[in-house]
Each structure stands twice: as C-alpha cells, then as structure tokens.
Structure 1
Amino acid sequence: MQIPQPETLYFDSDETNGFPNSPLPVMIYRQVLDISEAEKRAEAFEAMFKRHGWPPAWRYHLYDFDHFHSTAHEALGIFRGQARARLGGPNGQELMLYAGDVLVLPAGVGHASVQADNDFCMVGAYPPGQEPEIERGDPAQLAAAQSRVAAVVLPENAPVGGSLAGLWG
C-alpha cells in the first residue's frame, strides 16, 4: 500500500482559552482505506495502527466539547459516518472528516465535534506508554500544559506507516 501524503494544519497556542496546541502539524490523511463495510474498515484501521506502533485503544465518537491531550499524541481513524470537526480550540478551524480518513493530532491540539452523523464513529490509538488525559483548556494552567506537551515523546512511525521524522522531525 502506498502511504498517502497528508494535509497539514498548524495551530498556535490559544492563550485566551488555555489551549497549548503544538508547533507540530496536525496531519489529515484522506481516504486511507477504501473498504465499504464499516466493521471491516474499523478492523483494518486497528490492524494498521497496531502494525505501525500505535496500539488501538477504543471505538467511539468525537466529543462535542473542545478538549486536548497534553500527555499523548492521538490517531483517529474514521470508520463510519462523517463529521465537521473543529481543531485548535474554540477559536480554531473547522474541517470535514469522512469514513476512510485518518486524523493525527500532536499532543496539545484542541479538537471537538461541531456536527456529526448519528452513526459517526472512529478508532482511537496512541503510541505505547502514552495515556491521554482529557483537558478542556484553562488559561491559568496553560504553561503547565505546554510543559507536558513538550515532554511527550515523538513516535518513530506515523500510524498509517512511514517515518514521522520528515513530518514531525
């Protein structure tokens, strides 16, 4: 399988709302899997993430509130439905996510569902040893969150394959 080139988005720190975001880009891989059945697509995402060192952790929807993880990078494989998501916190940028897409969020980047199909669902995965804490943004805690984000180890591989060195190096 050829590894697709991701779209990349950058988000500066949102000091007003307490979202650290990241100097690393968010990566959006479009139509990574062209499998029509949602259950098989979910299983394929789980196998692909695991194969590239991002063990799958859950199947769920995207929370409808702005949040971030200062202790883990996150891969999201959309296996059913579509959603309009906001990245970067409350003042961030909206984009559409479709079944077959993969979203890779560096630690600290805000994300939320703005609108989603009733059946929208994703596979979530994290690099080994990284446990996500759900944080909602607090300007008084921004410096501490930025310190935690800076300490998160960069994984060797992208969850869809290939080295992260050129993308996050």
Structure 2
Amino acid sequence: MQNVQVFHFEDNGVIPNNPRLPVVFYTAAFKDNLERIQQVFEKHGWGNSWQGGVFDFHHYHSNTHEVLGVMSGSARLQLGGESGQNVEVAAGDVCVFPAGTGHKRLSASEDFLIVGAYPGGVEYNLKTGELGERPYVLEDILNTPLPKTDPVYGDAGPLFSAWNI
C-alpha cells in the first residue's frame, strides 16, 4: 500500500467537518492505473460516479461520504474550511472525505480531472455552510452510515483502520 495520510478537522462554525472521522489521503494509489480509477471505485461499491473537477468554493455533503480520485493533472485543494489544510493532489491520488468535510479547489492545472463516487451509490446533497443548514446537517453527518468497503482496496485497506470500521 502507498503512503496514506489522515487529516482531522474541527467544526469551524461554518463548515461542520466530521467530529469522528478523518479525511484519508492515499498518495499515488493509482499511479500506474489511472484509467481504472472509476471502475475500481464501482467494483468496491462506491457508485453514482462522475468525472469533472472540484468546485472553487467551500462545500460538503452532509448525507454521504465521498471519494475523489485524480485521473489527470494536479490541483491544490483546501480541506476542512477556511482554517483547514491545503493539500496538493496529482494524478493517481485518492481522497476520501467523511460526511460533513469541507473541500474547495484553490488552483488546478488545465488537465485536472477527477472521478467522484459515494458508498452504495448514494445521491449526495450539496451544502455550503449557510446558517440555515444547521442543526439538520449535524444530525445528518452523525447518522451517515460507515461504508462497507475501502474504495481502493475493497474488503481491506487504510480506510478500515482510519475509520475503525
């Protein structure tokens, strides 16, 4: 397995983040198999997949976890809201965001392309930290079920230990 990092973020009053689960960042998980990222996610039960970019504003999903795999290019993302962590991502990298975790694109190469997916193919919501979102989103985040598989490794993998699955 490649290098794995975890990032914990606190609720900053705007972006709730996840009080229990960290972001799990897999460096170069698909460096030799970029064309298979979406297929592997779907094989491991992470569906409702799409290809595109990352919004240039802080946002999160309160009703599901999300995996993003970088298919091409590179970008600088801000995780966890305004006071969060800036992370460089490149082709082959994978980020798993627990429900509630903010993310935003700060910059990207022209060829930046990701694939996103959700455990069980959940239809995700889009939240931006508006005042009217609370307290509903806080309850939603805590009630989001844990995934049954790691999106990269299936029945084993770093997500299981990072999230105590």
Give the TM-score normalised by structure 1: 0.88
What is the aligned counterpart of 1:14 among 12, 15, 18? 12
Q: State which drifts further: 66-75 or 54-63.
A: 54-63
* Alignment partner, residue 74 of structure 1: 66
Alignment of 1:27-106 (within 5 A): 27-35=24-32, 41=34, 43-55=35-47, 57-106=49-98
**1:125-169 deviation per Cα after TM superposition (whole angstroms, max 9, x unaligned):** 101152211110023433211100111110121111125432212
**1:27 maps to amino acid:** V
**1:53-104 deviation per Cα after TM superposition (whole angstroms, max 9, x unaligned):** 1125100011101000001100000011100000001221111001110000
Alignment of 1:131-142 (within 5 A): 131-142=123-134
- Counterpart contact for 1:83–1:116, Cα < 8 Å: yes
Kindly tell me the number of residue pairs found equivalent between the two proteins: 160
What is the aligned counterpart of 1:148 among 136, 140, 149? 140
Please state whether the residue corresponding to 2:41 is helix, strand or coil. helix
Runs of 4+ in 1 over 6 A off after TM superposition: none
Please state whether the residue corresponding to 2:46 is helix, strand or coil. coil
Separation of aligned partners in 1, 2:72 and 2:149? 25
CA RMSD of superposed structures (Å): 1.5
Separation of aligned partners in 2, 1:6 and 1:146? 27
Separation of aligned partners in 2, 1:128 and 1:10? 24
* Alignment partner, residue 115 of structure 1: 107
Mind listing any 5+ residue stretches in structure 2 that lack a counterpart?
none
Separation of aligned partners in 1, 2:25 and 2:101? 13
Give aligned-pair identity as a percent. Answer: 36
- Counterpart contact for 2:68–2:117, Cα < 8 Å: yes
Pairwise CA distance, 1:119: 1.5
Please state whether the residue corresponding to 2:22 is helix, strand or coil. strand
**1:168 maps to amino acid:** W
Change (3 A) 1:31 1:129: closer
Mind listing any 5+ residue stretches in structure 1 that lack a counterpart?
none
**2:10 maps to amino acid:** D
Separation of aligned partners in 1, 2:38 and 2:46? 9
Separation of aligned partners in 1, 2:97 and 2:133? 20
